[in-house]
Amino acid sequence: MRTSQLFRRYLVIIPICLGTIFVFYVTNNFMDKTRNSRDLNADCDCSKRDIPNNQDIPNGQDFPNRQDIPNRQDITNRQDIPNRQDIPNRQDIPNKQDIPKKQENIPKAENVQNVKKIPAIPEQTDPKCAREPKDDPNVNPLSKFYSVWYDPPTEVAKKDHVKILIWTELWDKQMRKILPKGKGAKCGSMPNCIFTGFRSEIHEADAVLFEVSNLQKDYNASVFPTVRYPRQHWVWYHTECPGFPSINFETYRSVFNWTITYRADSDSSGAWGSLHRTYQRLKVEGVDPNKDYTVGKRKLAVWFISKCNTQANRVAYATELVKYMHIDVFGRCGKTVCAKWNVTCMPGIIRQYKFYLAFENMICKEYLTEKFWRNALANDVIPVVMGANRSDYERLAPPHSYIHVDDFKSAKELADYLMMLGQDKEKYNAYFKWKTHPPKNIPLEEGMWCNMCRELFNRCPTKRKLYTNLRGWFEGENHSMCDPMVDVKFKELQFEDNRFKVASYA
Ligand SMILES: *[C@@H]1O[C@H](CO)[C@@H](O)[C@H](O)[C@H]1NC(C)=O
Ligand SMILES: *[C@@H]1O[C@H](CO)[C@@H](O)[C@H](O)[C@H]1NC(C)=O
Ligand SMILES: *[C@@H]1O[C@H](CO)[C@@H](O)[C@H](O)[C@H]1NC(C)=O
Ligand SMILES: *[C@@H]1O[C@H](CO)[C@@H](O)[C@H](O)[C@H]1NC(C)=O
Ligand SMILES: *[C@@H]1O[C@H](CO)[C@@H](O)[C@H](O)[C@H]1NC(C)=O
């Protein structure tokens, strides 16, 4: 009796269950279709494993010092940070490869105003979401190379960390040996900014980093993540100037949300050095205001150069300069004394000289590299700079810390000035006064990892951005970011007997 009653009850329950599943399935499918290319509300956090592995915890001993750790309020307005309560329903997980392939799929600026906002959380009250001047085409002509829009606010609760997934390897093979995947990445002052190299953590990542030299020349979806969350930033990371394109930009349209480059208008700074970091270093090292910087410097000028050919503007200039003054040339086209990445042997050499030729390999806006920051400034030698316009150095570098070649009518005039300065202790030492006179309002720039953490903590939760024309933005309209190379026949050079000759190995 009992068994048959139970059986009859099941006969009723089973169809109901099947019906429910059917209805759920149909609804689900319909929602997926309506969602299609932009997942408006799928603000996914998916944090199931919020406890980082030991490897992911940044090393606390890292520079900068404790006293430089910003106040929590500076880092973030806590209520804007989404947290784990925001675990999405199944249907909120985006479809594979939502990347719009063509311009048409990209939300247009006009549509932004039409997006329905949830009135309970007005976007305008969040200062982080104020429109940035650099997104205004009247202020920044480069803004036409990316799209900016705002998604409707979603109920996102607090989250006290951000996670950065390093998807590609970092830099070239030589660096890779020193810094295995993900290992070089950390921000000592922000331990709640977590770096990982484990691709399985894609679902929890606030940002996914792609380093340019480890990207395939053409965009290839199969080496990119197969899921993409609307709130997640795919970040293009490149520290070199546009002179040496390593990827086929056209195929990378509408792939990346953010950029990290040496340029200040990047979404996060990847500058080679900065006033902030320089003065932080001096705080640690200490500065003697009465130091005589001519002591121990018996030699005049030194130049390290690895790419040495007649096309580069700097070589043409140096060819002229060596006619009027003595310069020791090291590197591939001069005497080889140091391996490229050997940071231990270069300072010992550089510190014997009064001047260091910090000639950049390309003349590009804001392109100041380690030649300036690390090789020259950090070694107490005056950099003679050629590269970005003087106004860039005035903005970015310590005041009266360098000699810009553009200040001289000719190479001869520059040579005369350097030889005079080399003999004048007082004038020479004046180029180091910046050490004890920090400029006011030094912009915060703590190195690329911490910069990125800070930007992620400070981002507007509803703002979306997509580089629809990465090349346009990076190279500038009509390649305006860089001066063209000198248009002479390409020849490899060699420095011998105090002059440049066509290299015998060429
Ligand atoms: C995409 O990348 C994969 C993995 O490296 C490779 O096997 C494949 O040939 C690539 N496809 C194209 C079209 O280059
Ligand atoms: C770097 O240079 C120093 C001094 O010349 C040398 O002793 C050392 O072996 C070099 N290191 C590497 C990794 O080449
Ligand atoms: C280059 O810098 C000089 C000196 O600051 C400035 O007068 C000039 O306008 C700048 N040129 C460009 C093209 O920015
Ligand atoms: C990044 O771009 C993708 C593709 O358009 C978009 O779905 C996503 O919302 C963007 N993310 C951010 C944070 O801008
Ligand atoms: C770029 O070149 C085009 C065609 O020569 C010209 O119409 C346009 O004004 C240039 N843009 C800039 C910013 O120089």
Query: Could you tell me the CA-to-CA distances from 417 to 62, 214, 366, 414, 420 in Å, in that order?
Result: 41, 44, 25, 5, 5
Considering the domain architecture, whether residues 307 and 246 belong to the same structural domain is answered as no
The CATH number of whichever domain residue 399 belongs to comes to: 3.40.50.11660
Considering the domain architecture, whether residues 498 and 426 belong to the same structural domain is answered as yes
Considering the domain architecture, whether residues 338 and 386 belong to the same structural domain is answered as yes
- Is there a domain that residue 349 lies in? yes
Q: Is the CB of 342 under 6 A from ligand 2?
A: yes
Domain encompassing residue 454 = 130-270+447-475
Q: Read off the amino acid at residue 16.
A: I
What gap in Å lies between CA 138 and CA 115, rounded to an integer?
Answer: 23
Q: Among 344, 349, 350, which residue has the most ligand 2 atoms within 8 Å of its CB, making it the best to mutate? A: 344
Which residue numbers in the chain have pLDDT < 50?
1, 17, 19-123, 174, 177-180, 506
Q: Is the CB of 465 under 6 A from ligand 4?
A: yes
Query: Could you tell me the CA-to-CA distances from 152 to 34, 37, 130, 316, 437 in Å, in that order?
Result: 16, 16, 15, 55, 47
Considering the domain architecture, whether residues 215 and 326 belong to the same structural domain is answered as no
Tokens of 154: 């979603």
- Is there a domain that residue 5 lies in? no
Considering the domain architecture, whether residues 328 and 456 belong to the same structural domain is answered as no
What gap in Å lies between CA 324 and CA 326, rounded to an integer?
Answer: 7
Considering the domain architecture, whether residues 434 and 454 belong to the same structural domain is answered as no
- Is there a domain that residue 387 lies in? yes
437 Cα: distance to centroid of ligand 3 (angstroms):
24
Considering the domain architecture, whether residues 419 and 452 belong to the same structural domain is answered as no
- Nearest ligand to the CA of 224 is 1
The pLDDT score that the predictor gives to residue 32 is 35
In this structure, the strands spanning 299-304 and 258-261 are unpaired
The pLDDT score that the predictor gives to residue 278 is 96
Q: CA nearest 358: which of 402, 308, 306, 423?
A: 402
Q: Is the CB of 461 under 6 A from ligand 4?
A: no
Tokens of 171: 């830099």
95 Cα: distance to centroid of ligand 1 (angstroms):
21
The pLDDT score that the predictor gives to residue 89 is 34
Q: Is the CB of 343 under 6 A from ligand 2?
A: no
**Residue corresponding to tokens 């030729």:** 357
- Is there a domain that residue 43 lies in? no
- Is there a domain that residue 392 lies in? yes
Q: How many helices (H) and strands (E) does the chain have?
A: 13, 15
The pLDDT score that the predictor gives to residue 344 is 73
Considering the domain architecture, whether residues 259 and 157 belong to the same structural domain is answered as yes
Q: Which residue lies with its CA nearest to atom 12 of ligand 1?
A: 220
- For the question of whether the overall pTM of this predicted structure is more than 0.85, the answer is no
- Is there a domain that residue 358 lies in? yes
Considering the domain architecture, whether residues 223 and 154 belong to the same structural domain is answered as yes
Considering the domain architecture, whether residues 259 and 167 belong to the same structural domain is answered as yes
Q: Which residue lies with its CA nearest to atom 9 of ligand 4?
A: 230
Domain count within the chain: 2
- Is there a domain that residue 182 lies in? yes
Q: CA nearest 455: which of 171, 243, 209, 92?
A: 209
Q: Is the CB of 179 under 6 A from ligand 2?
A: no
Considering the domain architecture, whether residues 436 and 451 belong to the same structural domain is answered as no
The pLDDT score that the predictor gives to residue 308 is 74
The angle formed by the CA atoms of residues 449, 164 and 259, to the nearest 5 degrees, is 65
Considering the domain architecture, whether residues 339 and 471 belong to the same structural domain is answered as no
- Residues whose beta carbon lies within 6 Å of some atom of ligand 1: 220, 222-223
Q: Among 342, 349, 352, which residue has the most ligand 2 atoms within 8 Å of its CB, making it the best to mutate? A: 342
- Is there a domain that residue 52 lies in? no
Q: Among 363, 368, 386, 389, which residue has the most ligand 3 atoms within 8 Å of its CB, making it the best to mutate? A: 389
- Helix 313-321 crosses helix 411-423 at what angle (to 10 degrees)? 60
Inter-residue contact 185 to 449 (CB < 8 Å): yes
Q: Is the CB of 100 under 6 A from ligand 4?
A: yes
- Nearest ligand to the CA of 480 is 5
